[in-house]
Copies of this chain bind each other. A is one copy, B any other.
């Protein structure tokens, strides 16, 4: 094992100090330099994180926006365009161009809403699901490897920090995405 650099990580033990606060809780003193390292780690990791799907997408004329669209339709089949707009945080026009491409290429299917016939409910076709699977599997593989290399405690910490970094609305959005539709592999 020993995935890239797993052994000699530079965690919180390097210059940061712990102290008991007035209420007894543990406080962390972090230097600006340590925070900056965290910022840079975030930048580089995110870049690496998106690099595998980006390569596949580029080959077939798609971009990151297509990936995100496929991802959220896959996670919540039948969601409306408005719901998708909300989770992606982009404008209708911006999404529409991407969505039209996916519809034209037969990766996504748009059905008239059952409750409200103005709404369009979005589903992946088999072809779309296949691409989504390819894309997400590459990211899962990277995430899995990182998790394995860093260990269970690190995984918990990773998620805690990421969640704490979100602002209220984003966190709410993230958490409302909690429940998945079916136990798909």
Contact = CB atoms under 8 A, between A and B. Distances in A.
Interface of A: 1, 3-6, 9-13, 16, 18, 25-28, 30, 32-33, 35-49, 51, 68, 75, 89, 136, 139-140, 142-168, 170-171, 173-175, 177, 180, 183, 185
A146 to B, nearest CB: 4
A164 B145 contact: yes
Nearest to A72: B40
B32 A152 contact: no
B163 A45 contact: yes
Nearest to A183: B33
Contact of A4 (B89, B142, B157, B164): B164
9 contacts: A36-B75, A41-B163, A41-B174, A42-B162, A43-B68, A45-B170, A149-B160, A149-B164, A150-B161
B166 A155 contact: no
Shortest beta-carbon contacts, A-B, top 8: A157-B157, A11-B156, A154-B157, A146-B164, A158-B161, A150-B160, A45-B162, A149-B164
A75 B43 CA distance: 14
Nearest to A158: B161
A137 to B, nearest CB: 9
A45 B6 contact: no
Contacts of A40: 174, 177
A144 to B, nearest CB: 6
A169 to B, nearest CB: 9
A136 to B, nearest CB: 7
